[in-house]
Amino acid sequence: MARISVVIATKDEERNIRDCLESVKWADEIVVVDDESKDRTVEICREYTSNIIPNDSNGDFHVNKNLGIEKSSEDWILSIDADERITQELSREIKDVIGKSDKLGYYISRKNYFMGRWIRGCGWFPDYIIRLFRKGTARWPLMADDFHGTPHIKEKAKTGYLKNAMLHYAYFSFTQFLEKFNLYTSALAKQEYNRGKKMNFLVCFLLKPCFVFFRKYLFLRGYIYGFRGFFISVSSALTIFMTYAKLWEMRRKDL
């Protein structure tokens, strides 16, 4: 029978990690790569697995995801984050497909939650991403090259889509959101800086942010979700604005 390794990269995830591990304890192997957590993350992980690898990623958690894949021992890999959950329906589907499939990997949709509510608008659903794949067929790109990057399988004909979705509890408070917002925009700015991205003031600071807001709030029906949808749409526009603001700052220091 086909066997599966679950790979999780962690950093200070004591709030999330237990529920995540509970949702994947059916797997044949769980591999955790921890990025110098200062809380109880590792202590909680030890209750579920002895395969815990400490590694300082220097801010690139995709490095630790790839390390976990390399250290896993089973033929199939399920790569998830600490704030994600595998439902019972999805776990049954995963076990079923890997036992009889000739595919190299599968796209899994995510139900993204914001402040306790599942958001289907704003382009947040179905949010398909390759997370289940045969070992040796996919890796996470380095964040310096592609911050938004996800595992990729070149042979599209050998990939499939699962019916059931995983749960993603993206943000549980505005404080957490702002912490991630700052890290996220800094990483994006660094990526654009390394790429030598050109800037046009009108496009970068006005047209693009406005386009993103109206697209998410109106065309992708963010308005259905009240203040949550409005906040997501505004913050998406601000992500564009702040990314270019930080890029401008980085270039200014070069002068």
101-127 pLDDT tens trace: 899 999 999 999 999 999 999 999 999
Question: How many other C-beta atoms are found inside a 10 Å radius of the C-beta of residue 122?
Answer: 25
State how beta strands 105-108 and 129-134 pair. Answer: antiparallel
Dump pLDDT digits (tens) for 178-219: 988 998 999 899 989 988 888 999 999 999 999 999 999 999
Q: What is the pLDDT of residue 203?
A: 95
**pLDDT of 143:** 79
Give the tens place of pLDDT for each residue, 38-62. Answer: 999 999 999 999 999 999 998 888 9
In the chain, list all ranges with CATH 3.90.550.10.
4-170
* Amino acid found at 177: F
Q: Residue 247 has what pLDDT?
A: 95
Whether domain 4-170 has CATH 3.20.20.10: the reply is no
User: Would you report the helix, strand and coil content of the chain in percent, each value rounded to 5?
Assistant: 45, 20, 35
Q: What is the DSSP track for 172-241?
A: SSHHHHHHHHHHHHHHHHHHHHHTT----HHIIIIIHHHHHHHIIIIIT-GGGGHHHHHHHHHHHHHHHH
Closest CA to 12 of 68, 62, 61, 85: 61
- Cβ-based neighbour number of residue 99 at 10 Å: 12
* Whole-number Å distance between alpha carbons of 251 and 77: 40
Q: What's the whole-number mean pLDDT along residues 162-174?
A: 94
State yes or no: pLDDT of 148 exceeds 80: no
Going by C-alpha positions, the residue among 141, 124, 113 that lies closest to residue 236 is: 124
In terms of DSSP bridges, do strands 84-85 and 29-34 run parallel, antiparallel, or are they unpaired?
Answer: unpaired
